Structure 1
Amino acid sequence: MLLREVTSHLTQTELAHLGSGEVAYIRKMGSEEVSRCFPEAPEIDPTVDLWALFAADGTPILLTDNRSSTFYKAAEDELKTVSLH
């Protein structure tokens, strides 16, 4: 069965929870995005490369300047990771 066929039968709530507790995504993040996703974070130097780990539903888990740390945290939480480009 194609993913498109499966997702067409899911409610919006079911789709939002797909992969919850099992999958997380990692993406590079600009300092200008930090306050939106991580409101408690201090102001960050815009020249610093940042990496974020998010739960499948978009819940922020970790913000770091070390990409490897996102993989360590995901492994610690027993999450499979995917990268977004």
Structure 2
Amino acid sequence: MLMKEATSHLTKSELAHIGNGEVAYIRKMRTDEVAKCFPEAPDIDPNVDLWALFGADGTPILLTDNRSSTFFKAAEDELKTVSLH
């Protein structure tokens, strides 16, 4: 018996919201990227290592110079974290 593979089509918006409120990602940021994601952030020394926590849909949650802080904030908000490289 042959079975057809079911295909599901998601819009970009639907895809962007998968995991929203449940999953967050952590990534290292350069100071020149900060203003785009965190417009309220002050000027930052370009020699500082920065880490950002984002919601699954890309919503900025936290900017810090301490990577561990991103994990603590995610745990506080009951979010599962993944790292982007």
Q: Which amino acid aligns with 1:26?
A: I
- Based on CA coordinates, which of the two structures has the bigger radius of gyration? 2
How far 1:8 sits from its partner (Å)? Answer: 4.9
Structure richer in helix, relative to its length: 1
Match of 1:82 in 2: 82
After superposition, the Cα gap between the structure-2 partners of 1:31 and 1:8, relative to the gap in structure 1 and judged at 3 Å, is farther
Q: Which amino acid aligns with 2:56?
A: A
TM-score (norm 2): 0.89
In percent, how many aligned pairs have the same letter? 83
Unaligned 5+ runs, structure 1: none
Q: CA RMSD for the aligned pairs? A: 1.7
TM-score (norm 1): 0.89
Q: Which amino acid aligns with 1:67?
A: R
Match of 2:14 in 1: 14
Match of 1:28 in 2: 28
CA distance in 2 between counterparts of 1:6 and 1:57 reads 26
How far 1:13 sits from its partner (Å)? Answer: 1.8
Unaligned 5+ runs, structure 2: none
User: How many equivalent residue pairs?
Assistant: 81
2:53 maps to 1:53: yes
